[in-house]
């Protein structure tokens, strides 16, 4: 049986699609051949394996028809790996093409050669590449420049030994702006993959050339040049000033990528220039940033996330621009959420009325998530701007009067925070207590109970209210249970005569009938404290101690992380507000170590030959063959495109297993993760997803203040966090255990 199967695989099928395509490919009519090539490419896109046609497609490579040539090359790039030996047959054509009088064909040849990732092809690349790098046509030169990066990716040793890097470095001085841009691009890529090569070293001379090319090259080239300028550490103030001066005009470019890259470059170099000048630049970058808010929604989103970062560093830059961030009715949700956050950040005494009116409007919409965030924003404004707190509280009361269930619940959670900063608003407590029956979310219930406990001495029926909760103690969520416990103890300490029975009931329920260790532990602690007769004030001192007031409920990043992210403006990491290591290298903790060890070994072995060591370090694929597979947990690759190569790598089976063991770890961007509807710490949850406890984890200041409060504080972050965390941690462990 098995033998038959194998034989079957080698015999050519007599009918079916492949057969027809094959017939077409070897047809005597040119148009039929071309048509068949097109059909083959179509089948390839649909995911069908047409690698069996390799030899027949290859026969069509020598043609004068440029379009057909391109198609054959496209096929070749996709399936070269499946027939590495046959690729040799194409080499001749490539080499010939690279000397064609037509520059388009020369460029096409060198471009395609770099994409055929077969060892044998690499051997033949050296000469054509050397020639095309010195080609008379800038079009060919700029293509060849990128090809050096491709070669380095394939075979770093060869790229280094043949001096291609030096050639590229020379090409920064090329008269053609696009060649300069692509050379910088290629060098930057090499520098990033293998820093030890020091591929891109900017000095006064190259700086001048890059600045010159900046005004003339394509928009995409500008982005590259600008980002390498941003990475450049200047030697003196003059240089920084010069860079800022030359880069600032790019704020006016139509491409958002260029604008953000320019903002980044100026923002980073601005630190070195005089305060007056840098203030001037801040002023200059505001209008272009605002303009980005009217671009396409996706670009807008990236811009808004970046503006958020910039505002955390420079809160003043957009304080006159509140209106621009007003949400439009049909803005996508992810844009709306981000706009809300930014509006709160730029709120100040002058625009707060406008903002409150707008937030109230949002709170009356129907999208539940959005409404909750709007309500929360009102609370953040109240805590941020002291003299607006009364207006905020009134707005919240208006909202509570709408009796819309989720609005009321969110408003109560928010008011609890307001009480922690401004204890004087106790007059509204009766209104809050009226809604007690409508609250069904643990967060809102916990918030109200906390308020009742805190103001127990002033609420005449506090005992009755809490009594009701104690009756249903065992049906509550544990976060609410903790609050009930604390509130009852507070009531008892403040008015012992009223709560004697209550406190006993609740402690009984919490210790003997509850299986949550947190609740039990807290109950025991209280019990011990209360039964301590030696110092009657000790309990009061602990439970009723003054709490540190809330400073802000607006989420902000720790300064070190913020600075790191500011140097990553407009990249994915600035969108996620996370350092790149957390998502780029994710899932290869083990592999990284293996690779590092391998590199070190290499370095030791070849101490005299630094070239080879550098090469080995860069060649991730060859130094640690397992890496690429482990890195792509999701590419459970039974590679339709390259069956031959897939079979030779045993580790692909392993990665399949990993895929089964762990659910894919999903990093949705913050706005999307919000569907859980949880409070201020979505971002924390997301950070938690990475399970990387070593990293700097920002926690909302509200949360950390809570921790300090010990028993009496509310645990905001308790809800969705733990389960999600556990799950992802588990999948992480699964992944790790496979090493």
Partner 1 sequence: MLSGILIFNQKGENLIFRAFRSDCRPRLADIFRIQVISNPQVRSPILTLGSTTFSHVKHENIYLVAVTKSNANAALVFEFLYRLIMLGKSYFGKLDEEAVKNNFVLIYELLDEILDFGYPQNTDPDTLKMYITTEGVKSAIANSPTDSSRITQQATGALSWRRSDIKYRKNEAFVDVIEDVNLLMSATGTVLRADVNGQIVMRAYLTGTPECKFGLNDRLLLDTGETSSNMNNPGGGNGLSTSKTTRAAAGSVTLEDCQFHQCVKLGRFDADRIISFVPPDGEFELMRYRATENVNLPFKVHPIVREIGTTKVEYSVAIKANYSSKLFATNVVIRIPTPLNTAKTTERTSQGRAKYEPEQNNIVWKIARFSGQSEYVLNAEATLTSMTHQKAWSRPPLSLSFSLLMFTSSGLLVRYLKVFEKNNYSSVKWVRYMTRAGSYEIRF
Residues 342-381 within binding reach of partner 1 (CB under 8 A): 354, 357-358, 361, 365-367
Q: Is 137 in the site for partner 1 (CB under 8 A)?
A: yes
Binding-site member from 20, 100, 464, 733 for partner 1 (CB under 8 A): 100
Exactly one of 22, 83, 117, 494 binds partner 1 (CB under 8 A); that residue is 117
Q: In whole angstroms, how close is the CB of 483 to partner 1 at the nearest point? A: 31
Q: Tell me which residues in 627-666 interact with partner 1 (CB under 8 A).
A: 628, 631-641, 664-666
Q: Which is nearer to partner 1, 232 or 526 (CB)?
A: 232
Is 576 a binding residue for partner 1 by CB under 8 A? The answer is yes
| Between 327 and 378, CB nearer to partner 1 | 327
Rule CB under 8 A: choose which of 203, 328, 535, 607 binds partner 1.
Answer: 328
CA dist., res. 703 & res. 714, Å (int): 8
The terminus-to-terminus CA distance of the chain in angstroms comes to 36
Under the criterion CB under 8 A, does residue 585 sit at the interface with partner 1?
Answer: yes
Closer by beta carbon to partner 1, 69 or else 555? 69
Residue 724 structure tokens = 């999600």
591 binds partner 1 (CB under 8 A): no
CB of residue 388 to partner 1, shortest distance in Å: 18
Q: Which is nearer to partner 1, 142 or 420 (CB)?
A: 142
Binding to partner 1 by residue 580, rule CB under 8 A?
A: yes
Does residue 595 belong to the site contacting partner 1 (CB under 8 A)? no
CB of 330 to partner 1, least distance (A): 8
CB of 412: closest distance to partner 1 in angstroms? Answer: 20
CA distances from 553 to 139, 376, 619 (A): 55, 9, 47
- How far is the C-alpha of 632 from the C-alpha of 627, rounded, in Å? 9
CB 143 within 8 A of CB 105: no
- 185 lines the binding site for partner 1 (CB under 8 A): yes
Q: Measure the CA–CA gap between 447 and 55, rounded to whole angstroms.
A: 72
Binding-residue pattern over the window 144 to 183 for partner 1, x denoting contact by CB under 8 A = --xx-xx--x----------------------xxxx--x-
Residue 681 corresponds to which tokens in the numbers above? 């710490």
**Cβ-based nearer residue to partner 1, 194 or 633:** 633
Residues between 229 and 258 with contacts to partner 1, criterion CB under 8 A: 246, 248-250, 252-257
Give CA angle at 667 (664, 670), nearest 5°: 155
- Least distance from C-beta 60 to partner 1, angstroms? 14
Q: Are 700 and 684 in contact (CB under 8 A)?
A: yes
> Of 129, 575, 591, 716, which one interacts with partner 1 (CB under 8 A)?
575
What is the total count of residues that contact partner 1 (CB under 8 A)? 135
Q: Is 19 in the site for partner 1 (CB under 8 A)?
A: no
Q: Which is nearer to partner 1, 262 or 449 (CB)?
A: 262
Residue choice 30, 62, 560, 584 for contact with partner 1 (CB under 8 A) = 584
**Per CB under 8 A, which of residues 601..630 are in contact with partner 1?**
628
Options 19-27, 419-427, 567-575, 706-714: segment touching partner 1 (CB under 8 A): 567-575
CB 634 within 8 A of CB 664: yes
CB neighbourhood size of 202 (10 A)? 18
Cα 169 from chain centroid (whole Å): 32
Contact pick of 23, 30, 92, 102 for partner 1 (by CB under 8 A): 102
Show the site string, 694-733: x = touches partner 1 by CB under 8 A, - = not.
----------------------------------------
Closer to partner 1 by CB, 508 or 727: give it.
727
Please state, in angstroms and rounded to a whole number, the distance separating the CA atoms of residues 651 and 326: 52
Q: Minimum Å distance from CB 352 to partner 1?
A: 15
Is 147 within 8 Å of 113 (Cβ atoms)?
A: yes
What is the smallest separation between the CB atom of 458 and partner 1, expressed in angstroms? Answer: 35
Binds partner 1 (CB under 8 A): choice among 26, 74, 433, 654? 74
CB 415 within 8 A of CB 382: no
- Which of 157, 162, 218, 508 is close enough to bind partner 1 by CB under 8 A? 218
Of the ranges 384-392, 572-580, 596-604, 607-615, which one interacts with partner 1 (CB under 8 A)? 572-580
Residue 257, both tokens: 């990528």
Give the 3-state secondary structure of 171-183: HCCCCCHHHHHHH
Contact predicate 480/452, CB 8 Å: no
Q: Are 523 and 510 in contact (CB under 8 A)?
A: yes
Segment contacting partner 1 by CB under 8 A, of 319-327, 378-386, 388-396, 525-533: 319-327
Give the tokens for residue 586. Answer: 């994710």
Reported as type and span, the H/E element at residue 220 is helix 219-231
* Separation of alpha carbons 36 and 452, rounded Å: 78
What sign does the CA torsion over 343, 348, 350, 355 have? Answer: positive
Phi-psi region of 403 (alpha: psi -120 to 50; beta: other; left: phi over 0): left
Task: Please tell me what DSSP assigns to residue 427.
Answer: G
Q: Nearer Cβ to partner 1, position 18 or 712?
A: 18
Which of 83, 372, 586, 627 is the binder for partner 1 (CB under 8 A)? 586
Spell out a b/e string for 597-628, using b for 16 or more CB atoms within 10 Å of the CB, else e: ebbeebbeeeeeeeebbbbbbbbbeebbebbb
- Please report, as residue ranges, which positions from 537 to 556 form the binding site for partner 1 (by CB under 8 A): none
| Dist. CA 616–CA 161, nearest whole Å | 13
Q: Which is nearer to partner 1, 286 or 448 (CB)?
A: 286
The rounded radius of gyration (Å) of the Cα atoms in the chain is: 33
Pick between residue 445 and residue 586 the one whose CB is nearest to partner 1: 586
Question: What span, in angstroms and rounded, lies between the C-alpha atoms of 133 and 148?
Answer: 9
Site residues (CB under 8 A) for partner 1, limited to 198-217: 215-216
CA–CA distance, 432 with 425 (Å, rounded to integer)? 12
Question: Is the separation of the CB atoms in 116 and 128 below 8 Å?
Answer: no
Closest to partner 1 by CB, 403 vs 528, is: 403
62 touching partner 1, by CB under 8 A: no
Please name the residue ranges forming H helices in 26-62.
Answer: 30-45, 54-58
Nearest distance from C-beta of residue 731 to partner 1, angstroms: 11
Site string for partner 1, 80-99 (x = CB under 8 A): --------------------
């Amino acid at each position: 049986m098995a033998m038959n199967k194998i034989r079957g695989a080698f015999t050519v099928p007599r009918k079916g699609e492949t057969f027809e395509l094959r017939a077409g490919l070897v047809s005597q009519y040119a148009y039929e051949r071309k048509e068949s090539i097109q059909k083959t490419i179509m089948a390839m896109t649909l995911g069908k394996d047409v690698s069996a046609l390799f030899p027949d497609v290859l026969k069509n490579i020598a043609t004068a028809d440029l379009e057909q040539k391109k198609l054959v090359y496209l096929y070749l790039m996709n399936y070269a790996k499946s027939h590495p030996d046959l690729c040799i047959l194409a080499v001749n054509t490539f080499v010939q093409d690279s000397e064609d009088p037509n520059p388009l064909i020369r460029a096409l040849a060198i471009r395609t050669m770099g994409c055929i990732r077969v060892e044998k092809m690499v051997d033949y690349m050296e000469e054509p590449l050397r020639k095309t790098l010195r080609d008379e046509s800038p079009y060919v030169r700029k293509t060849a420049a990128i090809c050096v990066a491709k070669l380095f990716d394939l075979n770093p040793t060869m790229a280094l030994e043949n001096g291609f890097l030096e050639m590229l470095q020379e090409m920064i001085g090329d008269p053609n702006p696009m060649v300069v841009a692509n050379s910088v691009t290629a060098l930057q890529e090499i520098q990033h993959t293998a820093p030890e090569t020091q591929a891109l070293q900017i000095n006064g001379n190259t700086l001048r050339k890059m600045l010159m090319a900046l005004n003339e090259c394509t928009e995409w080239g500008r982005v590259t040049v600008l980002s390498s300028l941003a990475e450049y550490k200047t030697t003196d103030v003059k240089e920084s000033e010069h860079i800022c001066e030359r880069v600032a005009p790019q704020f006016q470019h139509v491409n958002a990528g260029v604008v953000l890259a320019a903002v980044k470059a100026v923002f980073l170099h601005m630190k070195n220039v005089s305060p007056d000048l840098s203030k001037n630049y801040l002023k200059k970058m505001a209008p272009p940033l605002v303009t980005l808010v009217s671009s396409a929604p996706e670009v807008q989103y990236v811009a808004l996330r970046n503006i958020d970062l910039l505002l955390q560093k420079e809160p003043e830059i957009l304080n006159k621009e509140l209106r621009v961030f007003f949400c439009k009715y049909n803005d996508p949700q992810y844009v709306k959420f981000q706009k809300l956050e930014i509006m709160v950040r730029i709120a100040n005494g002058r625009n707060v009325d406008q903002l409150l009116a707008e937030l109230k409007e949002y709170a009356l919409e129907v999208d539940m998530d959005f409404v909750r965030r709007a309500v929360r924003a009102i609370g953040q404004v109240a805590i941020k701007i002291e003299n607006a707190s009364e207006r905020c509280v009134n707005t919240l009361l208006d909202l509570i009067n709408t009796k819309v269930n989720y609005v009321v619940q969110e408003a109560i959670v928010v008011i609890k925070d307001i009480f922690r900063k401004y204890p004087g608003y106790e007059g509204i407590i009766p209104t809050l207590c009226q809604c007690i029956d409508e609250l069904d979310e643990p967060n809102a219930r916990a918030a109200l109970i906390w308020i009742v406990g805190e103001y127990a001495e002033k609420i005449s029926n506090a005992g009755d209210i809490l009594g009701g909760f104690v009756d249903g103690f065992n049906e509550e969520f544990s976060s609410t249970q903790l609050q009930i416990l604390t509130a009852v103890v507070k009531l008892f300490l403040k008015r012992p005569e009223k709560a004697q029975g209550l406190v006993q009931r609740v402690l009984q329920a919490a210790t003997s009938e509850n299986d949550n260790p947190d609740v039990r532990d807290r109950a025991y602690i209280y019990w011990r404290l209360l039964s301590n007769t030696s110092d009657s004030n000790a309990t009061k001192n602990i439970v009723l101690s003054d709490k540190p007031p809330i400073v802000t409920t607006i989420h902000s990043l720790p300064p070190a992380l913020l600075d790191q992210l500011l140097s990553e403006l407009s990249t994915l990491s600035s969108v996620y507000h996370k350092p790149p290591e957390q998502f780029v290298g994710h899932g290869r903790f083990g592999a990284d170590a293996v690779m590092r060890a391998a590199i070190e070994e290499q370095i030791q072995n070849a101490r005299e030959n630094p070239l080879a060591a550098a090469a080995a370090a860069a060649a991730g694929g060859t130094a640690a063959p397992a890496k690429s597979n482990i890195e792509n947990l999701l590419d459970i690759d039974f590679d339709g495109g390259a069956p031959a190569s897939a079979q030779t790598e045993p580790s692909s089976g392993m990665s399949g297993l990993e895929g089964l063991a762990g659910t894919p770890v999903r990093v949705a961007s913050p706005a999307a993760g919000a569907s859980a509807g949880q409070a201020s710490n979505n971002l924390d949850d997301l950070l938690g997803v990475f399970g990387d406890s070593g990293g700097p984890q920002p926690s909302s200041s509200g949360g950390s203040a809570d921790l300090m409060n010990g028993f009496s504080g509310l645990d905001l972050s308790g809800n969705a966090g733990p389960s999600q965390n556990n799950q992802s941690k588990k999948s992480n462990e699964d992944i790790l255990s496979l090493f």
